[in-house]
């Protein structure tokens, strides 16, 4: 039974996904460790460091484990790991028993962190592929919303107050703009993060000889695994792992912003958007009328929890000398959880944005609720060439106060203000107080963002 939400029999698929659990679960971690040990043996067999037949035997054992023909004794592995403090020595012992005489060549010149770090990199590679798949779909949903609602006016809000008109397509495009950059970040970090780790006891590969000869094993190991070959051992510089989690935290932060907006827009008083309707989803145990924004709430929670993991891996960057005495361990917790929460947030966002219900009529109603006050700036800018900006501001400010106090449309008050009505005229004032005429470059910016999609 899991102790956390990501492993919970009840909450696991609300906060995470089955695919990401598969990529970062215990079985996947051990499988990746075995994969690294087998790749190391093949690399060294090719280079003549260990016998080729030993490398073949070790690879055969790894294949048998992967196919389920052989199985690790997990209870023994657990007990021995608790004694040793790390799982690799217990794992190598079992692998060596399976491999018989070839087992003596397992883990040749390697250290525990080499295997665990490279296994973690393989997990990161699999996790990034899953993240990218859901991110691509989520971006596609946002692009569709931006295109469909390019010209749908609604109230733009600052400090939760009506500010100026925008379009819902513009709002969706702003959300998309952030996710586009996160997609770029995911691509850009791969060469820095997807690197083999192999340095031996202190990172110098001394057990394999001197100079370039010792480095051939790492290069061949990287080739076997489809990873990059670093110029130098990176086991005590953890910026690559930290960067990965920071990018995930940034991504879920942006998803949290989207969720926050949608959650507010779905409030009864706004009623401008709603999560997809599913029978019973978001129901209250006591209030039959409720339809709570469940996906938004889960995304927001994930963003907050992942932010904590981002801080945790930054602690792991501060390591001592040539082997950290503790900071490394926090990655064992932070890295899988970061990918788990990021996957969960993206899964919820993909669902929510893929079926988002948009009420353009309610947007129009809300836009009109202040009877033209939302475009007071338009009137001021239209009047400014006649009076100067400062005087125009004061005249329109006074008209706004009067409109609010008497609960009348701004246009009516302006028509009764000679200093405004005389230079502008009725037709111009009607145009200036129509919010749909004051959308600025919002539609054009949507077009620019969507160009080429």
Q: Which residues contact 59 (CB under 8 A, 6 or more apart)?
A: 38, 41, 42
Q: Can you tell me the distance from the alpha carbon of 355 to that of 399, in angstroms, rounded to the nearest whole number?
A: 42
Residue whose C-alpha is closest to residue 372's, from 425, 433, 293, 314:
433
Residues tagged active-site: 284, 323
Q: Which residues contact 205 (CB under 8 A, 6 or more apart)?
A: 109, 198, 199, 214, 215, 217, 218, 233
Q: List 357's β-bridge partners, or say none.
A: 274
Give CA–CA dist 37/44, Å, rounded.
Answer: 11
Residues 235-253 as b/e (b if ≥16 CB within 10 A, e otherwise) read bbebebbbbbbbbbbbbbb
| Burial bucket for residue 95 (CB in 10 Å: 0-12, 13-18, 19+) | buried
What is the rounded distance in angstroms from the CA atom of residue 339 to the CA atom of residue 244? 9
**Residue whose entry in the numeric block shows the structure tokens 């910026």:** 239
CA angle 112, 113, 116 (to 5 degrees): 90
């Amino acid at each position: 039974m899991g102790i956390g939400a990501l492993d919970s029999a009840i909450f696991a698929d609300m906060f995470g996904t089955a695919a990401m659990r598969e990529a970062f679960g215990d079985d996947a971690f051990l499988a990746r460790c075995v994969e690294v040990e087998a790749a190391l043996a093949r690399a060294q067999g090719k280079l003549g460091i260990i016998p080729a037949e030993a490398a073949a035997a070790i690879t055969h054992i790894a294949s048998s484990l992967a196919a389920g023909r052989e199985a690790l004794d997990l209870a023994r592995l657990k007990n021995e790991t608790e004694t040793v403090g790390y799982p690799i020595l217990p794992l190598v012992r079992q692998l060596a028993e399976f491999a018989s005489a070839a087992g003596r060549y397992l883990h040749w010149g390697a250290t525990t962190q080499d295997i665990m770090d490279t296994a973690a990199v393989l997990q990161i590679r699999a996790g990034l592929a899953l993240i990218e798949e859901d991110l691509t779909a989520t971006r596609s949903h946002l692009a569709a919303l931006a295109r469909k609602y390019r010209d749908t006016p609604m109230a733009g809000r600052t400090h939760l107050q009506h500010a100026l008109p925008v379009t819902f397509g513009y709002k969706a495009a702003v959300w998309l703009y952030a996710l586009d950059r996160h997609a770029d970040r995911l691509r850009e970090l791969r060469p820095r993060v997807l690197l083999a780790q192999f340095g031996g006891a202190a990172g110098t590969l001394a057990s394999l000889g001197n100079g370039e000869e010792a480095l051939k094993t790492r290069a061949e190991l990287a080739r076997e695994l489809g990873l990059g070959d670093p110029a130098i051992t990176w086991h005590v510089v953890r910026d690559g792992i930290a960067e990965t989690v920071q990018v995930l935290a940034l991504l879920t932060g942006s998803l949290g912003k989207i969720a926050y907006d949608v959650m507010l827009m779905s409030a009864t008083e706004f009623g401008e958007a709603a999560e997809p309707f599913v029978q019973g989803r978001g129901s209250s145990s006591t209030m039959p009328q409720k339809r709570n924004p469940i996906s938004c709430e889960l995304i927001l929670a994930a963003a907050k929890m992942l932010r904590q993991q981002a801080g945790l891996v930054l602690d792991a960057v501060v390591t001592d000398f040539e082997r950290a005495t503790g900071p490394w361990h926090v990655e064992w917790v932070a890295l899988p959880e970061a990918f788990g929460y990021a996957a969960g947030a993206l899964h919820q966002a993909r669902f929510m944005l893929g079926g988002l219900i948009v009420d353009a009529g309610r947007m129009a109603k809300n836009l009109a609720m202040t009877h033209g006050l939302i475009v007071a700036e338009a009137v001021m800018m239209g009047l400014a060439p006649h009076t100067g900006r400062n005087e125009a501001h004061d005249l329109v400010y006074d008209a706004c106060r009067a409109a609010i106090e008497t609960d009348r449309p701004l246009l009516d008050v302006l028509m009764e203000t000679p200093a405004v009505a005389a230079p502008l005229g009725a037709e111009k004032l009607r145009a200036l107080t129509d919010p749909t005429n004051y959308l600025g470059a919002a539609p054009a910016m949507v077009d620019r963002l969507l160009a080429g999609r």
